[in-house]
Amino acid sequence: MRVALLFGGRSGEHEVSVMSARSISAALTDNGFDVLAVGITKEGRWVFIDKPELIFEKGYTEVTADLGPSCYVLPDPSRPGLWIDGRLQEDGLCRDSPLPLQSAGADRDMDVDVVFPVLHGSFGEDGTIQGLLDLSGLPYVGSGTLASSVCMDKDSAKMVMSYHGIPFVPYVKVQRWLWKNKRDEVLQELLADLTYPVFVKPSGSGSSLGVSKVKDADGLSEALDYAFLFDVKALIEPAQEGCLEIECAVLGNEDPRASVPGQIIPSREFYDYEAKYIDTSTRLVIPAPLDEGLTAQVQEISIATFRAEGCSGLARVDVFVDTADGSIRVSEVNTMPGFTDVSMYPKLWEASGVTYSRLVEELVHLAVDRKTALERRFWV
């Protein structure tokens, strides 16, 4: 089976995606899959990388246009697979005539069976890539267009949770246009209602990019300005003081299952980008120090959230657990969580008896199953 691995992307989480792709590529190869590596530059150019193991071994953290010829998928199910703007020759030059994607100097058929879009954040995890792949007719790992889009936008995701009666961290929404035009009025209203500390975060950003912890009123305005660099909506949430920060991995399509939960103990002020991917002193406690009853509740709420949001394949559900009263509140849902060596999602499944290699293989098969089920529903 041939798997096209998409990574990089037009996102602030570009480097994380490349790191995730390195581990996934190795696992796919070990499982006998034929891997086609497609890197996406920060400017959005798709690049076919003929020998991805070389860039991964050299520690590349960014996809650049000089790594290979441009390639693309067409929004036309009658012309599936990957396409290239010319054939990559042994001299490294690219001929300009559009041809079916070929490897260096070889006439290898480049049809694609499954796409694995290990893209985090904007233009990858937000439904954009998923919509393109739906139009192309290619099966892909992860949630569909709607679920990806909804879960990427924390405001929309919490609206869905509210409708389904799923407990979540309360929030106040601020829109950029209103902040820009009526800043003083909005600020006065917020200052009258908020109790500190609070977190200010972009509604549609991942990996804690654009997130600030605000301890008093003096820092609120600056935190909102920062959040609006990443999105047109910002959420203000009360800090969940005294609660355990818990993550639970969900795997499956119509009959999902949940991993053992894990606890995050960040070494920094909060679990920000550096704490997730750079600072190795952040502690991951797996399994989380929860009794049997709370563990089961976290798993049940995670699966209920997965289903309510319409997710497929995989998701990581982040929650806060108040051990004093046993309450659980969902923070957010990540439809394409990190897959690096230190990422929580694969570690949770490893602790649940599913190895990294087996996890990646199952995700590929779930993608095929989902596509088959959708086609059956369409034609019935």
Q: Based on the residue annotation, tell me whether 124 is a catalytic residue of this protein.
A: no
- Choosing from 23, 136, 207, 212, the catalytic residue is 207
- Choosing from 277, 302, 356, 361, the catalytic residue is 277
Question: 């820092």: which residue's tokens?
Answer: 219
The phi and psi torsions of 118 (rounded to 5 degrees) equal -85, 65
- Choosing from 318, 331, 356, 361, the catalytic residue is 318
Tokens found for residue 354: 């599913």
- Choosing from 149, 221, 252, 316, the catalytic residue is 316
Residue type, 291: D
Q: Based on the residue annotation, tell me whether 332 is a catalytic residue of this protein.
A: yes
Q: Based on the residue annotation, tell me whether 242 is a catalytic residue of this protein.
A: no
- Choosing from 23, 205, 221, 334, the catalytic residue is 334
Q: Based on the residue annotation, tell me whether 318 is a catalytic residue of this protein.
A: yes
Through-space distance between the first and last CA atoms of the chain, rounded to whole angstroms: 27
Q: Based on the residue annotation, tell me whether 153 is a catalytic residue of this protein.
A: no
Q: Based on the residue annotation, tell me whether 95 is a catalytic residue of this protein.
A: no
- Choosing from 8, 11, 12, 13, the catalytic residue is 13
- Choosing from 259, 332, 356, 361, the catalytic residue is 332
Tokens found for residue 263: 């606890």
Q: Based on the residue annotation, tell me whether 334 is a catalytic residue of this protein.
A: yes
d(C-alpha 88, C-alpha 235), whole Å: 47
- Choosing from 140, 206, 338, 345, the catalytic residue is 338
Residue 345's contacts (CB-CB under 8 Å, 6 or more residues apart) are 247, 249, 314, 316, 337, 338, 339
Alpha helices in the chain (DSSP H): 14-30, 52-57, 128-136, 145-152, 154-163, 176-181, 183-193, 220-227, 273-277, 292-308, 344-351, 356-379
Q: Based on the residue annotation, tell me whether 163 is a catalytic residue of this protein.
A: no
Task: Read off the DSSP letter of residue 87.
Answer: P
Chain centre distance of CA 218: 33
CB 62 within 8 A of CB 42: yes
Q: Annotated active-site positions, please?
A: 13, 207, 277, 316, 318, 332, 334, 338
